[in-house]
C-alpha cells in the first residue's frame, strides 16, 4: 500500500565546486521525484545525511516542476524564510532537516489555497547550517505578478507569509526560543550576490 502525498516532490543536490570554473548551473543536479510516503522513506534511507555532506553542499526539496532557483518563473517574484544555525555541533541537523522535509511533504506549513510553499533547502557551510523555506510571493497586493498574490490585499499577503513563517519556526524547534527567523525577497538576494539580504519580516 502506498500513502499518496498531496504533491509530487523533487529532490535536488548542489555539489561543492571542484575547481574554479564551476558555476551554479554545473553544480545543481536533479536527483529523484516521489509522490508517496513510502517512496520518501526509501529515498531518505539511501542518501547521504546532511551531517555527512561536504561544505558548500545543499539539498533542495521542491514541488515537481519548480527548479530550486531564483530565476524559475514560480520563484522569481518570491522570497524565503531562513535561519542559520551557527553552533553546528550543538544541533542535530539531520533531525531538523528531516522534520522540515516532513512538514513540507505533509503540507503542514501552509493552509489549503495558500499556494505559497515552493520548497525547502538546507545549506552546509563552514560557519553554519542554513535551513530555508521558499515562498511564491513576498506578500504584496496585485494581480499575481511582481511578488503579489492574486486576490490578496497587501495585509492579507503579509499575514499569509507571517503564518507560514511561524509554522516554519515551529518545524525548526525554535518556537519558544529568542532566535529570529528572517524573510527576504529573492531579488534582494540576487542583488546582494548572496543570500544575506536585508530581512523584510521576522518571526
- Within 10 Å of residue 69's Cβ, how many Cβ atoms? 16
- CA atoms of 194 and 108, how far apart (whole Å): 29
| Size of the residue set binding ligand M7G (CB under 6 A) | 9
Contacts of 68 (CB under 8 A, 6+ apart): 12, 28, 60, 62, 75, 119, 121, 134
Binding mask 47-86 for ligand M7G (x = CB under 6 A): ----------------------xxx---------------
Scanning 103-111, 145-153, 154-162, 192-200 for contacts with ligand M7G by CB under 6 A, the matching segment is 192-200
List the interface residues with ligand M7G, window 128-187 (CB under 6 A): none
CB 83 within 8 A of CB 130: yes
Nearer to ligand M7G, 125 or 166 (CB): 125
Q: Which residues contact 149 (CB under 8 A, 6 or more apart)?
A: 115, 116, 136, 137, 139, 140, 141, 142, 156, 157, 160
193 counts as binding ligand M7G under rule CB under 6 A: yes
Pull the grid cell for residue 50.
Answer: 546532511
Q: Say whether residue 24 binds ligand M7G (CB under 6 A).
A: yes
**Among positions 10, 50, 123, 137, the unique one binding ligand M7G when judged by CB under 6 A:** 123
* Residue 111 C-beta: closest distance to ligand M7G, Å: 26
> Does 113 interact with ligand M7G (rule: CB under 6 A)?
no
Interface residues toward ligand M7G, by CB under 6 A:
24, 69-71, 123, 125, 193-195
Amino acid at each position: 500500500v502506498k500513502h499518496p502525498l498531496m504533491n509530487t516532490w523533487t529532490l535536488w543536490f548542489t555539489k561543492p565546486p571542484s575547481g574554479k570554473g564551476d558555476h551554479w548551473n554545473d553544480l545543481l543536479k536533479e536527483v529523484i521525484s516521489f509522490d508517496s510516503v513510502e517512496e520518501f522513506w526509501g529515498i531518505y534511507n539511501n542518501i547521504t545525511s546532511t551531517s555527512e555532506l561536504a561544505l558548500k553542499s545543499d539539498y533542495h526539496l521542491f514541488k515537481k516542476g519548480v527548479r530550486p532557483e531564483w530565476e524559475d518563473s514560480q520563484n522569481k517574484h518570491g522570497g524565503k524564510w531562513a535561519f542559520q544555525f551557527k553552533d553546528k555541533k550543538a544541533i542535530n541537523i539531520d533531525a531538523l532537516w528531516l522534520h522540515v522535509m516532513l512538514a513540507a511533504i505533509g503540507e503542514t506549513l501552509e493552509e489549503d489555497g495558500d499556494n505559497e510553499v515552493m520548497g525547502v533547502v538546507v545549506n552546509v557551510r563552514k560557519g553554519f547550517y542554513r535551513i530555508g523555506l521558499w515562498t511564491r510571493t513576498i506578500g504584496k497586493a496585485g494581480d499575481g505578478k511582481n511578488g503579489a498574490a492574486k486576490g490578496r490585499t497587501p495585509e492579507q499577503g503579509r499575514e499569509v507569509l507571517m503564518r507560514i513563517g511561524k509554522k516554519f519556526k515551529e518545524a525548526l524547534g525554535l518556537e519558544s526560543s529568542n532566535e529570529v527567523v528572517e524573510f527576504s525577497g529573492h531579488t534582494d538576494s540576487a542583488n546582494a550576490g548572496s543570500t544575506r539580504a536585508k530581512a523584510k519580516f521576522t518571526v
